[in-house]
Amino acid sequence: MHIPDNYLSPVTCGTLFAAVTPIWTIAVIKVKKQIKKHHETLPMIGIASSLAFLIMMFNLPIPGGTTAHAVGGTLLSILIGPWATCLAITVTLLLQAFLFGDGGILSFGVNVMNMAVIMPFVGYWIYKIGKKFKHEKLGVILGSYIGINSAALLAGIELGIQPLIAHTNNGSPLYCPYGLNITVPAMLLAHLLVAGWVEVIFTLLVFKFVNKVSPTKIYDNSNNANNIHWIYLLIGLALISPLGLIAKNTAFGEWNNQELQHMLIKQHLGSQVPEGMLNGFHFKALFSDYTINGLPISIGYILSAITAILVFLLLVRGLKHETK
């Protein structure tokens, strides 16, 4: 679901970035108020960012030769609220894009809209309805499942409208070459059939874990024992993160130019990568694809996960000192 650079037109990227900017502003204002009321919200944002990062490292094989992953948007909204989740996943996506090359720089606002806005707010709204009618667990299930599929639908639309809004004079697509008839079913089927259910399972498991270690307030980690539980969970996920390497293929809409060209030829849709994708913005991340030169890819995966956890926790620690 991490849309790379050059799959979307500059107009699409600019429009979505402009759309999320006021949402970020509102989120900062609301989270500042939340921190004053619940001081542990700030360290929990660091934990939430780490948790989202780790969840997204576990790629899943999808029938048809692609992959997908869970995100944890609804889970984090239940833990710390949707506005704090918006900021937490935004920070996660920022680190993924700049340090690990997962998701684009120009398409950053698009990915934020899908995974840090639509998913957590839709999922949380459904969860609250379930809780209101005394069916909290059902709310967790439906919220997490519908939340991630709402984001997948939006991503499919964003990709699929590109041939309609960005093309040459002869009608050739400049960016994503697939129309809505391909992108929407591809994104939805992957998440309806596989990723959505993994999202549900993971959300339920962590929801039960949190209720066990902190049953009175789901995001109240006011004692060191509860914080230790979280650290154990994050380290455990980091150590098993190489399981995400089992899914070898690339997710739909995240191919590099060589992979896309091979796909187009295989599908008899031509042999040329769209011009905008060839001549677009190409950013080389320091640890692209969570690899570290000279190390086995599994070790690089683990070190990338641990690095992300440290970055998030150090960032929160710095913010904590600033707010004192």
- pLDDT at residue 23 tops 50: yes
3-class secondary-structure state, position 68: strand
CATH of residue 204: 1.10.1760.20
Specify if 130 maps to a domain: yes
Q: Residue 45: which domain range? A: 10-323
How many Å apart are CA 312 and CA 88, to the nearest integer?
9
Please give the pLDDT value at position 239: 95
Specify if 273 maps to a domain: yes
Instruction: Give the pLDDT mean for 180-209.
Output: 94
Please give the pLDDT value at position 224: 47
Please give the pLDDT value at position 230: 81
- pLDDT at residue 216 tops 50: no
Query: By C-alpha distance, which of 56, 44, 41 is closest to 92?
Result: 56
Region of 301 (left: φ > 0; alpha: ψ -120 to 50; beta: rest) is: alpha
Specify if 3 maps to a domain: no
- pLDDT at residue 130 tops 50: yes
Specify if 5 maps to a domain: no
Specify if 211 maps to a domain: yes
What letter would DSSP give residue 282? -
Q: What are phi and psi for residue 69, nearest 5 degrees? A: -150, 160
Spell out a b/e string for 151-164, using b for 16 or more CB atoms within 10 Å of the CB, else e. Answer: bbbbbbebbbbbbe
110 in Cβ contact with 10 (< 8 Å):
no
Number of domains in the chain: 1
Specify if 58 maps to a domain: yes
Specify if 2 maps to a domain: no
**Could you tell me whether strands 66-69 and 59-62 are parallel, antiparallel, or unpaired per DSSP bridges?**
antiparallel
How many Å apart are CA 146 and CA 192, to the nearest integer?
9
Please give the pLDDT value at position 214: 60
For the record, the structure tokens of 16 come out as 């979505």
**Per-residue pLDDT tens over the stretch 46-83:** 989 999 999 999 999 987 778 999 999 999 999 899 99
Instruction: Give the pLDDT mean for 160-176.
Output: 95
Specify if 4 maps to a domain: no
**Per-residue pLDDT tens over the stretch 288-310:** 989 988 899 999 999 999 999 99
Please give the pLDDT value at position 232: 85
